[in-house]
Structure 1
């Protein structure tokens, strides 16, 4: 008897039906509030407000010098927000779930979220071009449009999306609450770690949190597309399996008259019957050949049926047939003698 964790997981029942989240009013309100916060952060940095002054104060405080004993641990902890390693870890877990639940939705949701993350966060990074704290040139400046790529924080946004996917795909409310708390703690720690190391401003982290949360809140809008993609992939798999087995798909019925296949004997009689008529000219196309074959087969069947009716005796259904009286022998020709009479004697000639 197996006692390991895989034996216990094999005995667990699969969820009967996975319900995809919908864009409810509560979620739309959260999306609108997060978007307003996102735009407010961008505006505050563009106008060099008090938020930029706070960025400089935290940067000049140099947290990595105030608590150097945390530096070794946080260098490894910040990897939880790096896109490559986290995507591989979460994809392995979701791949196992996809295999167990017989669905591709977990992997497709992860791929959709990462694609949205790269497009939206990458476009804002390149568009605003903010320099990081280690490359700042003027104290008190926002360092915008200078060729940088740190606003918003990619590590923070990636931590929110990658670990938040686990809570988004949870199948029970209890698991969703626990995973939401776990993903929030990890993403909060990753963002503050980037500020501690000095690779991001504090406003970068705030905007990264908002960017990742916007992607998670917008995922229900992409659920119909994810469902259609999953169905399309499964259809391609079935077609590939059918080709491997050598099974050809059934052809759709065509409109119009179809050629009639006749037995070989009837076809031979029809050919002999049609031989007495003039031979038509050879058709120039395949369609003409098919039409000629149909006409010949129809004429053959008609002629054969007529001959069969001509040789069939007609019996009155109201009166049973009566056997004719007398001998059943046919009358003999007068020139032929009866076989029972003796033949005339031949003249005897002397020898």
Structure 2
């Protein structure tokens, strides 16, 4: 029995309990506030304000030296914000959700969120080029345009988006509340862990939280595109399946030969005497009979092949056929006419 996603999609339509989030006024207000916070962080770092001073104070405090007993655990915990492992884990869960809910929307929503994350966060990282705490060269400097790529924090933004997508796709209010709280705790923990390990400034983490939240709040604007892509994928699947069925109908079903037995229906029966080799008739005088012409096309290897051994003739039949030496006088050389036959014409 097939258990793939497309097979389940063929069985029944999308359940009515799945509600696609819309851009409400509340969500729009949250999006505007988060965007304003994002811009404030960027401007504060560009102008080297008190936020940059706070970054340096935390960096010089070196939390990983103050609490070294946490280092081993947090080294593993920060993996929850790494893009590769988290994307695989969440995609596996959403793939099961797609199979159960008979829709590709969960997987396509994750793909759209990760695409937005890579484009927006990656563009700001490369554009500002901020160096990390371990590569800082001047105390009190924002370390911008120094060839780095840590502003905003990719681990933090990825933790917000990857785990927050589970709350975004929740089908019940209760599940949405629990998943929202869980994803918030994971994202906060991952961001603070990067500050503890000294791989990010505090301002990097603040901007990473804002960047991830902006992507989650903007996902309802992507829902029409997700619906179009899902319909296109399913239509492409149907067309490919129809082409495969057409090719299978065009291929003839031939019987399989077993052993040395000929396969019936593959080769039509040949008329008797058509193309069959005819033995050359040789008379007493060595002349060639009329059948010699028909056998002239035989290859030398075929003519030289030894004759098959035939069993001895039954005594009852041998009595009626005398050998050549016991026959009476024959006609002209090479003739097979009986000795007492008469010509067909008179005279």
Specify if TM > 0.5. Answer: yes
Residue of structure 2 in register with 1:173 after alignment: 173
The CA deviation at 1:80 is 0.1
The CA deviation at 1:220 is 0.2
> SS state of the match for residue 242, structure 1?
helix
Distance in 2 between the 1:232 and 1:96 partners? Answer: 21
1:52 equivalent to 2:56? Answer: no
Distance in 2 between the 1:18 and 1:163 partners? Answer: 19
Residue of structure 2 in register with 1:253 after alignment: none
Distance in 2 between the 1:243 and 1:85 partners? Answer: 37
Could you report, residue by residue, the CA deviation over 1:44-87 in whole angstroms, capped at 9, with x for unpaired residues? 00000000000000000000000000000000000000000000
Residue of structure 2 in register with 1:299 after alignment: none
Could you report, residue by residue, the CA deviation over 1:309-348 in whole angstroms, capped at 9, with x for unpaired residues? xxxxxxxxxxxxxxxxxxxxxxxxxxxxxxxxxxxxxxxx
The CA deviation at 1:247 is 8.3
Distance in 1 between the 2:67 and 2:148 partners? Answer: 28
> SS state of the match for residue 45, structure 2?
helix
TM-score (norm 1): 0.66
TM-score (norm 2): 0.67
Distance in 1 between the 2:216 and 2:203 partners? Answer: 20
Question: Within 5 A, what are the aligned runs for 1:309-348?
Answer: none
Could you report, residue by residue, the CA deviation over 1:196-251 in whole angstroms, capped at 9, with x for unpaired residues? 00000000000000000000000000000000100010111111111122189xxx
Distance in 2 between the 1:15 and 1:243 partners? Answer: 29
Question: Within 5 A, what are the aligned runs for 1:9-28?
Answer: 15-28=15-28
> SS state of the match for residue 34, structure 2?
helix
> SS state of the match for residue 245, structure 1?
helix
Residue of structure 1 in register with 2:123 after alignment: 123
Gaps of 5+ in 1: 1-13, 249-351
- Large movers: runs of 4+ above 2 Å: 14-17
Distance in 1 between the 2:141 and 2:46 partners? Answer: 10
Residue of structure 2 in register with 1:238 after alignment: 238
1:109 equivalent to 2:105? Answer: no
Question: Within 5 A, what are the aligned runs for 1:37-186?
Answer: 37-186=37-186
Conserved? CA contact 2:17–2:171, under 8 Å = no
The CA deviation at 1:17 is 3.4
Residue of structure 2 in register with 1:222 after alignment: 222
The CA deviation at 1:15 is 4.6
Distance in 2 between the 1:237 and 1:15 partners? Answer: 21
The CA deviation at 1:102 is 1.0
> SS state of the match for residue 199, structure 1?
coil
Distance in 2 between the 1:100 and 1:233 partners? Answer: 18
> SS state of the match for residue 246, structure 1?
helix
Distance in 1 between the 2:82 and 2:72 partners? Answer: 17
Gaps of 5+ in 2: 1-13, 249-347
Distance in 2 between the 1:64 and 1:235 partners? Answer: 54
> What is the RMSD of the two structures over their aligned residues, measured on CA atoms?
1.2
Residue of structure 2 in register with 1:35 after alignment: 35
Distance in 1 between the 2:200 and 2:56 partners? Answer: 11
Distance in 2 between the 1:99 and 1:70 partners? Answer: 40
Residue of structure 2 in register with 1:194 after alignment: 194
Distance in 1 between the 2:24 and 2:213 partners? Answer: 16
Could you report, residue by residue, the CA deviation over 1:273-315 in whole angstroms, capped at 9, with x for unpaired residues? xxxxxxxxxxxxxxxxxxxxxxxxxxxxxxxxxxxxxxxxxxx
The CA deviation at 1:164 is 0.1
